Homo-oligomer: A and B are copies of this chain.
Amino acid sequence: MTAVTDTIRNGVDTEQLFSTLDLIKDQPELARFQFRATNRWIDGSHNRSTIKAFYAAGGEDTTRSEEFVIDAGEPAILLGSDTGPNPAEHLLHALAACLTTSIVYVAAARKVQLTSVQSTLTGDMDVRGALGVDDEPRNGFERIAVAFRITGNAPEEKLREVVERAQKRSAVYDMVTNGVPVAVEMTTD
Q: Which residue of B lies closest to A84 (CB)?
A: B68
Contact partners of A176 in chain B: CB under 8 A:
91, 175-176, 179-180, 182
Docked pose: A184 CA to B176 CA in angstroms = 13
How many residues does chain A have at the interface if contact means C-beta atoms less than 8 Å apart? 132
Rank and list the top 4 A-B pairs by shortest CB-CB distance, nearest first. Answer: A11-B44, A87-B98, A72-B97, A140-B175
Whether the Cβ atoms of B35 and A148 lie closer than 8 Å is no
| Residue in A57, A75, A139 whose Cβ sees the most chain B Cβ within 10 Å | A139
Render A118-144 as a binary contact track against B, CB cut-off 8 A, 1 for contact. 111111111111111110011111111
Contact partners of A75 in chain B: CB under 8 A:
54, 56, 61, 63-64
Beyond A141-B171, A143-B183, A146-B185, 14 extra complex contacts between A and B, CB < 8 Å: A16-B79, A28-B133, A39-B93, A54-B75, A86-B101, A87-B170, A87-B172, A90-B172, A123-B180, A125-B171, A130-B169, A144-B180, A146-B183, A147-B185
- Chain A residues with CB under 8 Å of chain B are 10-13, 16-17, 20-21, 24-25, 28, 31-41, 43-47, 49, 51, 54, 56-57, 61, 63-66, 68, 70, 72, 74-77, 79, 82, 84-105, 114, 116-134, 137-152, 156, 159-160, 163, 165, 167-189
- Contact for A139 among B86, B123, B132, B171, CB less than 8 A: B171
Whether the Cβ atoms of A47 and B97 lie closer than 8 Å is yes
Contact partners of A169 in chain B: CB under 8 A:
129-132, 139
